[in-house]
A and B are shown apart, each in its own frame.
Chain A
Amino acid sequence: MINFEYARANDVADAVRQIAADPTSKFIAGGTNLLDLMKEDVERPARLIDITRLPLSDVEETPDGGVRIGALVPNSDLAWHPLIAQRYPMLASAILAGASAQLRNMASTGGNLMQRTRCFYFYDTVTPCNKRQPGSGCSAIAGINRINAILGTSDTCIATHPSDMCVALAVLEAKVHVAGPGGERVIPFADFHRLPGDAPQRDTNLDANELITAVELPADGFAKNYTYLKIRDRLSYAFALVSVAVGLEMDGNTIRRARFALGGVAHKPWRDEAAEAGLNGKVANPEIFERAAGLVLRDAKGFEHNAFKIELARRTIVRALIQAAHGTPQSQNNKKIA
């Protein structure tokens, strides 16, 4: 771990100014990911800009019926916020499926989007890793890759994005509000995280000088027919091997509109619009769910230790769609799968 300077940002403009002035600096919010990476010498910022005093901790309704979540709202506050618990229970559920109560108390909304992969090699500076050190090689492809991706991988990186919350945000089609030196802009959630391609060092399309200020949810929260189903190596406090967030708009037994996204399988929350479209207008039943799962996974590619994720993902998708269609979402307290 290297020595670093510490500074506070007074307001959003100040935060952006400070980060633009010093390319070796980084924002720190809850610190639950950044500090771990600094202790491992993976992140080596010369300066930390503490953003926790910025006025970005509100959860408020927007004029068009949506909700705007400040970037500093802690994950636990968000999950238990009445607006979220009632109108976006899928998001609440996804958040509660992640990490531990203590971590969720510290973790911020913005930080959750920006958290980095848990690929073992990314964390160990002794081993080559293109994401950590571009051009050094990917140790996971021929190494221990049980937790790595099966979709959207490239020859340079097969890492996953580890967030649970982001999987729900992908289904909800949230918007990410960011502020940079040139002003503010809005990034649709689908465009926020990237696939590794030949630049795995870049997790997101956020510029280095930009600050996430808020995440905006559209009005539609799929509060009736939804689920977040997370499969992991122990019953709590482990990252997803595969997770599935589902939001359905149902008309009796018929699916009017379907959305679902996968976590734990790709460099970003994974959605497949063709697979979703195939469900629209159909009567909910396991066969069409199987077909949708098959479509999502048609190009899935397993590696030595993670090929099982393809079958696991298929089954998890089917089960999650059943849960959502039946209105029996997965409880995050009762570990029995609904």
Chain B
Amino acid sequence: MPRDRSTPSHRGDISRRTVLQGAVAVGVLTHGQAVSSATVAAEQGEASKPMAPYIGSATSRVDGRDKVTGGAKYAGEFNAPGLVHASVIGSAIAKGRIARIDVSEAISVGGVVAVLTHENRPPMADDDKAYKDAVAPDQGSPFRPLYDDRIRFSGQPIALVLAENSETARFAASLVHVEYEPEKHVTDLYSKLNDVVSLKAPAKPRGDTASALASSPVRHHGEYYVPIEHHNPMEPYASTVIWEGGGKITIYDKTQGVQNVHGYVCNVFNLKPEDVRVMSPFVGGAFGSGLRPQYQVVLAVLAARALERSVRVVLTRQQMYSLGYRPAMIQRIDLGAETDGTLNAISHDATTVTSQYENFHRNETTWSGLLYKSANAKYAHNLVRLDLSTSCDMRAPSATTGVYALEAAMDELAVALKLDPLEFRLKCYSERDQSSGLPFSSKNLRECYRQGAEAFGWDKRSPEPRAMRDGRELVGWGMATGIWEALQVPIAVRIALTANGHAEVSCATSDIGTGTYTIMAQVAADMLGLPLDGVDIRLGDSTLPQSPVEGGSWIAASVSNGIVTTSRAVLKELLRLAKEMPNSPLATAAPEEVVLSGGMIVSRRDAARAVSIADAMQHDGVDRIVREETTRFARDSSHAHNTHSAIFAEVKVDEQLNVVRVTRVVSAVAAGRILNAKTAHSQVMGSVVWGIGMALHEETLIDHAFGRIMNANIAEYHVPVNADVQDIKVIFVDEKDEIVNPLGVKGLGEIGIVGVAAAIANAIYHATGKRVRALPITLDKLY
């Protein structure tokens, strides 16, 4: 398969279905009806019987076969003649400067091509602006790899050894001698609490929280800690730069946004956009760590330019801990309520970690003001700048952490109120975004609570802690709410439809493992009335139509509706062609009145009025219709757009040894239309697993004396293993959203993790009577 140098495209591989999905989906467009309830009038005999649409079905990944057979190539697997291999050297100190760097021994090793340092690197931009990628924090001066002698964090890349093979590069790296002038560093969040950067309040406060708290008969105050966590995607960060000659380069990069990397590389190296192509056909997980261009891509391009050769840079697992991370944070929550459970006041303070050179932050605190009915709310957010690399987004950034603290605090207040935690949340249920006062485009959280509780058996819960047991184990049941945003971003999609009934759909978005290839194929097949294997998807290539980074759970909604838009343009053109045919049965049909189905342009009113796509195109001598449309989502300032979930968790804790087992989790999610029942289920299941890790295992350990991460490997940085994951049930509750976008899709990448850690922490309290407010809840904290 000569696929190496181009974006592979993906053709559906499930059994051919005979048609008619297009009619259904276009119905959505014209009438705003949900696919499931739309009816199809067409009756064209056996072959055109209405079939279930691909949208919503449990379609297996169209790229699944390539992935499990090794056909899918990742950034560090592309080859080129004469490829140069690299080994990155990281700083041993956390702050200071490089006094001397001696590469003579390394360079004398046979097979070593060069050693790049700040002293001999090719030119790169000298202004911050060039390094500001599309999702860089507003404030600060982005990190510039190998730029100068300054050390800003331990593990910072300070030299790149280049050799004919990777073994030689790695060996020579051990021969580079560095002398530092260290300066005093600070990596401990707690040691800098009186030296913070105060951020502008993330949302407008409402009411008078201080006095509402003071006058509330039942109050709770709690301080919650979340440590630094690392993403640990399976695929290491890697870039392979192909030196194409004539000043052109192709970069295979591990990224969540090829066009972001493209723009960044062009700016940093002052290159013409047409001379750089960035590809990322497959991504082995990123979870936010690949939103910003990472340093290995700069190193790889620097090296390729220095040598005028193709270069590959792959980070080791240990070096992956020198990239971004979920910031450590301290959150303080104050809640005040009436004795009947009416919430009076919420106060949420967060102090989060960033580097010395950039102010990265998200708004942990705003979720508290949004979620529950409370007349008074206030927020504060401080940043602590430490001698670490800049923190970054990690799955559901800010909600995973902010909602953890809120939901743990809500559980504590429910205990103080002697109310069932679920009942308490229902009492505070809000039909409006409490911060903006706007109604939701859709919010079926109530149904999440109901179906989740029922599937879990919540009504059998004994309210008192330590009241339920199973032999020597204490049994605890906890629950929490989850919330995330339903975001969508402008995106362009191109469709090329050929007369033989084949469509190529392209967009520069990524598939970071979420299943984007598959949902794109499903939506396109439905909209164009083609079988799944009549659709090829191309993505992960900066030369394709515009797409932002894949993050924030916005790609599914954006690209699926983008495909709807472009499909309509294709349909319009087909109808125009059909009308030009003599005695066209569609002569009087308006575009809204026809659908594409089974290779035909069909009237929705009268299925007998139909023209085959092939005929329409052939009549006009057209063999290809190509349309590219940009979809911009109308700003809807009269609604809030969110996804919600309810999580119920069961833990069993050995009474004597405090070993915790998460035996059951039920996650009920309301996230609008589910595009693919199977990949959606996987998204949420994976999120729950991560939530277990957040609750029980994950913590990046820094020795503050050295300013260094000490467990920078996946033997000692614990994530859940199979034994830690037992019964996970995922429920998608029906949620029709006719407002958010034509397809009613709200995204799923993040919502699944939000609230999980709180549900587990609350269950541990219910089991043991012990409240642990610092994650992860390792067993020593239960003694």
Residue from A124, A235, A237 in contact with B708 in the complex, judged by beta carbons closer than 8 Å? A124
* Best-surrounded residue of B316, B652, B696, B708 (most CB of chain A within 10 A): B708
Across chains A and B, which 7 residue pairs bring their CB atoms closest together, nearest first? A236-B723, A308-B780, A235-B723, A120-B710, A126-B92, A3-B171, A237-B721
Chain A interface residue number, banded: 35 or more
A3: chain B residues at CB < 8 Å are 167-168, 171
Complex Cα–Cα for A264 and B365 (A): 41
B174: chain A residues at CB < 8 Å are 1-2, 41
Question: Is residue B659 contacting chain A, with contact meaning CB distance below 8 A?
Answer: yes
Complex Cα–Cα for A2 and B706 (A): 25
B715: chain A residues at CB < 8 Å are 118
Complex Cα–Cα for A336 and B778 (A): 17
Question: Is residue B190 contacting chain A, with contact meaning CB distance below 8 A?
Answer: no
A311: chain B residues at CB < 8 Å are 783
A96: chain B residues at CB < 8 Å are none
Question: Is residue A231 contacting chain B, with contact meaning CB distance below 8 A?
Answer: yes
- Say how far B182's CB is from chain A's closest CB, in angstroms: 12
The reply to whether B783 and A234 contact each other, CB–CB distance below 8 Å, is no
Question: Is residue B4 contacting chain A, with contact meaning CB distance below 8 A?
Answer: no
The reply to whether A139 and B703 contact each other, CB–CB distance below 8 Å, is yes
The reply to whether B720 and A126 contact each other, CB–CB distance below 8 Å, is no
Question: Is residue A295 contacting chain B, with contact meaning CB distance below 8 A?
Answer: no
Complex Cα–Cα for A118 and B711 (A): 10
Complex Cα–Cα for A316 and B721 (A): 23
Question: Is residue A208 contacting chain B, with contact meaning CB distance below 8 A?
Answer: no
- A335-B783 contact in complex given A1-B170, A233-B718, C-beta closer than 8 Å: no
Judged by DSSP, the binding face of B is: loop
B167: chain A residues at CB < 8 Å are 1, 3
B654: chain A residues at CB < 8 Å are 336-337
B720: chain A residues at CB < 8 Å are 234
- The number of residues on chain B lying at the interface, defined by a beta carbon within 8 Å of a beta carbon of chain A, is 39
Closest-by-CB residue of B relative to A121 is B710
B701: chain A residues at CB < 8 Å are 120, 144
The reply to whether B705 and A319 contact each other, CB–CB distance below 8 Å, is no
The reply to whether B706 and A337 contact each other, CB–CB distance below 8 Å, is no
The reply to whether A231 and B657 contact each other, CB–CB distance below 8 Å, is yes
Question: Is residue A142 contacting chain B, with contact meaning CB distance below 8 A?
Answer: yes
Residue from A124, A237, A312, A319 in contact with B779 in the complex, judged by beta carbons closer than 8 Å? A312
Residue from A1, A144, A308, A318 in contact with B710 in the complex, judged by beta carbons closer than 8 Å? A144
- A233-B778 contact in complex given A2-B174, A336-B473, C-beta closer than 8 Å: yes
B703: chain A residues at CB < 8 Å are 120-121, 127, 139, 143-144
Which residues of chain A have a CB within 8 Å of any CB of chain B? 1-3, 39-41, 118, 120-121, 123-124, 126-127, 139, 142-144, 146, 231, 233-238, 241, 308, 311-312, 315-316, 318-319, 335-337
Closest-by-CB residue of A relative to B780 is A308
A41: chain B residues at CB < 8 Å are 174
Closest-by-CB residue of B relative to A4 is B171
Closest-by-CB residue of A relative to B473 is A336
Closest-by-CB residue of B relative to A41 is B174
Judged by DSSP, the binding face of A is: loop
Closest-by-CB residue of A relative to B711 is A120
A308: chain B residues at CB < 8 Å are 780, 783
Contacts A39-B316, A337-B472 known; list 19 others, CB within 8 Å. Answer: A2-B174, A3-B167, A118-B716, A120-B701, A126-B92, A139-B703, A233-B697, A234-B720, A234-B721, A234-B723, A234-B724, A235-B721, A236-B722, A312-B657, A335-B661, A335-B723, A336-B652, A337-B473, A337-B659
B69: chain A residues at CB < 8 Å are none
Question: Is residue B588 contacting chain A, with contact meaning CB distance below 8 A?
Answer: no
- Say how far B190's CB is from chain A's closest CB, in angstroms: 14
Complex Cα–Cα for A245 and B561 (A): 61
- A234-B696 contact in complex given A1-B171, A120-B716, A126-B706, C-beta closer than 8 Å: yes
The reply to whether A312 and B724 contact each other, CB–CB distance below 8 Å, is no
A1: chain B residues at CB < 8 Å are 167, 170-171, 174
B724: chain A residues at CB < 8 Å are 234-236
B15: chain A residues at CB < 8 Å are none
Complex Cα–Cα for A1 and B175 (A): 10
The reply to whether A336 and B661 contact each other, CB–CB distance below 8 Å, is yes
B residues 158-203 near A (Cβ < 8 Å) are 167-168, 170-171, 174
A146: chain B residues at CB < 8 Å are 780
B92: chain A residues at CB < 8 Å are 126
- Say how far B188's CB is from chain A's closest CB, in angstroms: 12
Complex Cα–Cα for A236 and B472 (A): 20
- Say how far A292's CB is from chain B's closest CB, in angstroms: 16
The reply to whether A142 and B705 contact each other, CB–CB distance below 8 Å, is yes
B170: chain A residues at CB < 8 Å are 1
Residue from A127, A234, A319 in contact with B706 in the complex, judged by beta carbons closer than 8 Å? A127
Question: Is residue B656 contacting chain A, with contact meaning CB distance below 8 A?
Answer: yes
- Say how far A162's CB is from chain B's closest CB, in angstroms: 10
B residues 273-296 near A (Cβ < 8 Å) are none
A234: chain B residues at CB < 8 Å are 696-697, 718, 720-721, 723-724
A312: chain B residues at CB < 8 Å are 657, 779-780, 783
Complex Cα–Cα for A142 and B703 (A): 10
Give 15 A-B contacts (CB < 8 Å), ordered by A residue.
Answer: A3-B168, A41-B174, A127-B703, A143-B710, A144-B703, A231-B779, A233-B718, A233-B778, A234-B721, A234-B723, A235-B659, A236-B721, A308-B783, A312-B657, A312-B779
Closest-by-CB residue of B relative to A120 is B710
Complex Cα–Cα for A127 and B697 (A): 25
The reply to whether B723 and A337 contact each other, CB–CB distance below 8 Å, is no
- A316-B657 contact in complex given A124-B708, A124-B710, A231-B779, C-beta closer than 8 Å: yes
Complex Cα–Cα for A312 and B92 (A): 35
B711: chain A residues at CB < 8 Å are 120
B780: chain A residues at CB < 8 Å are 146, 241, 308, 312
A144: chain B residues at CB < 8 Å are 701, 703, 710
Complex Cα–Cα for A337 and B715 (A): 23
Closest-by-CB residue of B relative to A305 is B780
- The proximity string for B residues 477-520 relative to A, scoring 1 for CB distances below 8 Å and 0 otherwise, is 00000000000000000000000000000000000000000000
Complex Cα–Cα for A126 and B706 (A): 9
Complex Cα–Cα for A168 and B697 (A): 27
The reply to whether A127 and B723 contact each other, CB–CB distance below 8 Å, is no
- The proximity string for B residues 312-328 relative to A, scoring 1 for CB distances below 8 Å and 0 otherwise, is 00001010000000000
Complex Cα–Cα for A318 and B655 (A): 13
A319: chain B residues at CB < 8 Å are 656-657
- The proximity string for B residues 210-222 relative to A, scoring 1 for CB distances below 8 Å and 0 otherwise, is 0000000000000
B656: chain A residues at CB < 8 Å are 315, 318-319
Complex Cα–Cα for A234 and B701 (A): 16
- Say how far A323's CB is from chain B's closest CB, in angstroms: 11
- Say how far B495's CB is from chain A's closest CB, in angstroms: 45
Complex Cα–Cα for A337 and B472 (A): 8
Complex Cα–Cα for A238 and B778 (A): 13
B316: chain A residues at CB < 8 Å are 39
B706: chain A residues at CB < 8 Å are 126-127, 139
The reply to whether B718 and A238 contact each other, CB–CB distance below 8 Å, is yes
Complex Cα–Cα for A237 and B560 (A): 40
Complex Cα–Cα for A127 and B708 (A): 9
A337: chain B residues at CB < 8 Å are 472-473, 654, 657, 659
Complex Cα–Cα for A91 and B192 (A): 50
Complex Cα–Cα for A183 and B267 (A): 69
Complex Cα–Cα for A2 and B175 (A): 9
Closest-by-CB residue of B relative to A99 is B715
- Say how far A245's CB is from chain B's closest CB, in angstroms: 16
B472: chain A residues at CB < 8 Å are 337
Complex Cα–Cα for A40 and B716 (A): 15
Closest-by-CB residue of A relative to B712 is A124
Complex Cα–Cα for A1 and B316 (A): 12
Complex Cα–Cα for A40 and B317 (A): 11
Closest-by-CB residue of A relative to B168 is A3
- Say how far B229's CB is from chain A's closest CB, in angstroms: 15
Complex Cα–Cα for A37 and B660 (A): 32
Complex Cα–Cα for A319 and B471 (A): 14
* Best-surrounded residue of A121, A237, A241, A311 (most CB of chain B within 10 A): A237
